Structure 1
Amino acid sequence: MTVTLGDVREAAARLDGVAHRTPVLRSRTLDRLAGAEVHLKAENFQRVGAFKFRGAFNAVSRLDPRRRARGVTAYSSGNHAQAVALAAREFGATAVILMPADTPASKRAATAGYGAEIVTYDRYTGDRVALGAALAAERGLALIPPYEHPHVIAGQGTAALELLEQAGELDALLTPVGGGGLMAGSATAAKGLHPAIRMIGVEPTAGDDTRRSLAAGERVAIPVPRTIADGQAAEIPGELTFSINRRLLDEVVLVDDDEIRDAMRFAFERLRIVLEPSGATGLAALLAGRVRPLPRRVGVVLSGGNIDAVRFAEVVTGGITVG
C-alpha cells in the first residue's frame, strides 16, 4: 500500500471548494535572518485551524455512504479530532472522538462544537490505537486514523501541492513531523513534481522518533514525548508513513521548546499570525539555523494555529513547561 502523486491530485479535486486554499506568506526580515528566500504555507488559516482538515475530509469523503452514515471515530490530541468532527458534519454523519485527558481545553471545546461526542483517555498510560480500534468495533464506527491511512496521507499532501503551485519550484521544503502523515503526503507531492527537492522534517528534541527510526532503518519507539509541541508527541512513526518517509525524506532536524517559543513570538510580532507550538517547528528550525547548508528558495509548512489566548501567552512567556 502506498500513495502516489495521482492520489494527491485526486484528493485536491475532492477538496476543491471545501478546504481553504491557504496563503503563502513572505517576510523580508525572515529572509534576512534565514539567509534564504522563504515561502510560508499558512495552514493555520485552514478550516479547523490546521492542515488536518485536508486528510480527514478526503478520507471521510471516500467512505461508502452506508458505512459513513453509521458514524466515524478518530483518536487525536486535537487537530485531527476537530478535522474529523467537521468532515463528518459536512456529510451529515456523527463523530465520536477519543482524546487525551490533558488536551488543551480550546481544542476539546472546538471538537465538541462541531457536534462530536468526546471520550477521554490518559495519553501516558493508555494505548490510543487499541482504544480507538475497540471503540470503533464496539459502536460500529468507521475509524479515521490521524496519519496511518492512504487517503489521509494523500489529503495532507495537497498542502505541499498548493504551495508549489503558488510559489513555484523550491529547493527545499520543511515540514513538521509527528506521526509522519503530513511529511509523507508532502514528500509524495513535492518529489513527484520536483525529484531534486530536499525534504526536511522537523521534530521536537524530546520527540525524535522519526529521526531515530531513519538512522536505525526501522521504526523505533520512544517514551511518550513531553514537549509543548503536543501535536508532535508521537511515540513511534506509523508503519505506512515510515515506509514512505524512509524513501523520500532527506533529513530530520530537531528544535527544543525554547526555540519553538522563539518562533511563535516571531510569527506573532513580525508576521502578525498565531501559531500553535507544533505549527511553529519548521519556522523554529530556520530561525535557529538548524538547516545547513540552506538552499536559496525554501518552503515551510506552518501546520496549525489552534491555541487559545491564555495558553498562547503562557507558552511564549515560558509559563508552560513540560517534562
Structure 2
Amino acid sequence: MKNVKWNTILDSLKLSEFEKARDCLRSVLIKTELIHSRIFSNESGNDVYIKPENLQTTGAFKIRGAYNKISKLSMQQRQRGLIASSAGNHAQGVAFAAQKLGVEATIVMPKTTPLIKVDATKGYGANVVLFGDCYDEAYAEARRLEKEKGYVFIHPFNDLDVIIGQGTIGLEIIQELQDIDCIVVPIGGGGLISGIAAAAKILKPDIKIIGVEPEGAKAMKVSMESNRLVHLDTVDTIADGVAVKKPGDITFSIIKNFVDEIVTVSDFEIMESFLVLLERHKLIGENAGVLSLTALKKIKEKNKKIVCLVSGGNIDVVTISAMIDRGLVSRGRLFCFSVELADKPGELLKISQLLADANANVVKLDHNQFKALDRFMNVQLEVTVETNGHEHIRQIVKVLKNDGYNIMKIY
C-alpha cells in the first residue's frame, strides 16, 4: 500500500474519533431519521430502511466529511485558503463548511457537472473553476492550483478526517436500528463506505457492509478483485457523482478490511430505482444517490434488516424529467411500438379500439405514410401507450398479433 501504513489508519479509526466528529457536526447537520420502505422491502424480500442523506442542508452526505476536516485545520492553514475538486456534492460540502468557518474556498468542477450543483456551490460563497470532462481531470487541475497558489487541498475521499466525518452516518444508523443486519452504501472514491464500514464494525462486528458501483465506473470492485489499486481508462455512467477512475489508497485499504461485498448495477436499473423512490416515497435522489436501492435485487440475503443510504439528491429538473421517462420504460409503464396499416379509412380507429379494449392509454400517435416500406399502399403508425407493467405489455402485444398486426417494439 503506497505511502500509507495500515497501523496508522487503524489507530485513527477509533470509536472516540467518530464520536468527536459527531459532536463537531451536531450544529450543522439536519437529523436524517430512517424511513421504512414497504415497496423496496416487498421487491427485495428484506426489511428495508432508507437513510435519507439527500435531505441534508447541502443535499448530500458530503457536508459531514468536509466540515470535520476543515474544522480541524490550524489558523495558519485556514489563512492560506482551501481548494477542492468535486463532481458536485463535495464541492457544496466544502463551500458550506468554509463559509461557516470563515475560510476562502476554490472548487474545481468538471465541465460536465450539472448546473444545479455549480450554482449551489457558488451560492455558498466559493470560487468555482470548471475544468476537464470528469472528476479525475478536475482533480489534477486542483492539485496544480494547490502548488501554484499555496492552497490547502481538501480531498473528497482519500483523507482520514473526511472519512471519519462520513462515518458518523454509521453511528446514527446503528443507534437508531440496533438489530440491523446490513448497510448498503454507494461507492465512488470510497470515502463514504470506508467511514460507515469502520464505524459500524466497531459497534457491531457482525454487521454486513455492501458497496455498490455502476457497471460503467467500477474502479473499486476491479481494484478489490485485482488486490491492487486499478486506474480505469474510462468511466461511463449516468451516476456522475461516483464517476471516479481511481479510488484512494486509504479508502482501498479500509474497504479491503471492512467491506464484505461490492455489487454493480446498470444505468437502466438506476433509472428504475430513481422512479420508485420518487413515486412511492416522494424523495428525489440523484443518480449516484440511489445506487444502494438499485442494488437490493442483487443481494442474496433474505428476511434481513437492511439500511440503504440515499447519499444525495442534487439533480437538475431536466435530468429529473429524463429519468422519469426512462424509469417508466424500465418499469413497463410506457410502451412504444410501430406498425404498418393499410392506407384506408377505419384502420386507425380499429387499432385504437384494440388498445382501448386492452386498457392501454394512448399517450402519443404518429401517423405517417412516408415512413412505410410501401408508402402508396401502407401507413406507418407509431404509438406510445401508458401501461401497467411488463405483463400488461405482453398482453397488448398478444392482442395485436392475434388480430393480424405485426408490430415492432421501439421501447
TM-score class, shorter-chain normalisation, is over 0.9
- Report Cα offsets for 1:54-92 as digits up to 9, x if no partner: 000000000002221331110000000011001000011
Contact 1:203 1:281 in 2 (8 A): yes
Write the letter of the residue equivalent to 1:307. I
Matched, 1:76 2:86: yes
Change (3 A) 1:201 1:294: farther
Name 1:118's counterpart in structure 2: 128
- Alpha-carbon offset, residue 168 of structure 1: 1.7
Name 2:242's counterpart in structure 1: 232
- Report Cα offsets for 1:189-236 as digits up to 9, x if no partner: 111111111110000011111111111111111123111100110111
Write the letter of the residue equivalent to 1:70. R
Contact 2:135 2:244 in 1 (8 A): no
Give 2:67's match in structure 1, choosing from 30, 41, 57.
57
Aligned ranges 1:254-273 → 2 under 5 Å: 254-273=264-283
Change (3 A) 1:59 1:126: closer
Name 1:297's counterpart in structure 2: 305
Give 1:309's match in structure 2, choosing from 307, 312, 317.
317
Between stretches 98-107 and 217-226, larger displacement belongs to 217-226
Give 1:155's match in structure 2, choosing from 157, 160, 165.
165
- Alpha-carbon offset, residue 124 of structure 1: 5.0
Identical pairs, percent: 38
- Alpha-carbon offset, residue 294 of structure 1: 3.5
1:52 and 1:315 map into 2 onto residues whose CA distance is 23
Write the letter of the residue equivalent to 2:183. L
Matched, 1:9 2:19: yes
User: Any gaps of 5 or more consecutive residues in structure 2?
Assistant: 1-7, 328-411
Give 1:186's match in structure 2, choosing from 196, 204, 225.
196
1:110 and 1:36 map into 2 onto residues whose CA distance is 36
The structure with more radius of gyration: 2
- Alpha-carbon offset, residue 122 of structure 1: 1.2
Matched, 1:274 2:290: no
Contact 1:124 1:224 in 2 (8 A): no
Contact 2:21 2:68 in 1 (8 A): yes
Matched, 1:176 2:176: no
How well do the aligned residues superpose, as a CA RMSD in angstroms?
Answer: 1.5
Instruction: Determine helix, strand or coil for the equivalent of 1:224.
Output: coil
1:95 and 1:169 map into 2 onto residues whose CA distance is 41
Write the letter of the residue equivalent to 2:166. Q
Aligned ranges 1:104-143 → 2 under 5 Å: 104-124=114-134, 127-143=137-153
Matched, 1:211 2:235: no
Instruction: Determine helix, strand or coil for the equivalent of 2:298.
Output: coil
Contact 1:43 1:50 in 2 (8 A): yes
Name 1:167's counterpart in structure 2: 177
- Alpha-carbon offset, residue 279 of structure 1: 0.4
Change (3 A) 1:89 1:124: closer
- Alpha-carbon offset, residue 51 of structure 1: 0.3
Name 2:330's counterpart in structure 1: none
Which is bigger in relative contact order (C-alpha 8 A, separation at least 6)?
1
2:272 and 2:320 map into 1 onto residues whose CA distance is 12
Change (3 A) 1:122 1:43: same
Name 1:146's counterpart in structure 2: 156
User: Any gaps of 5 or more consecutive residues in structure 1?
Assistant: none
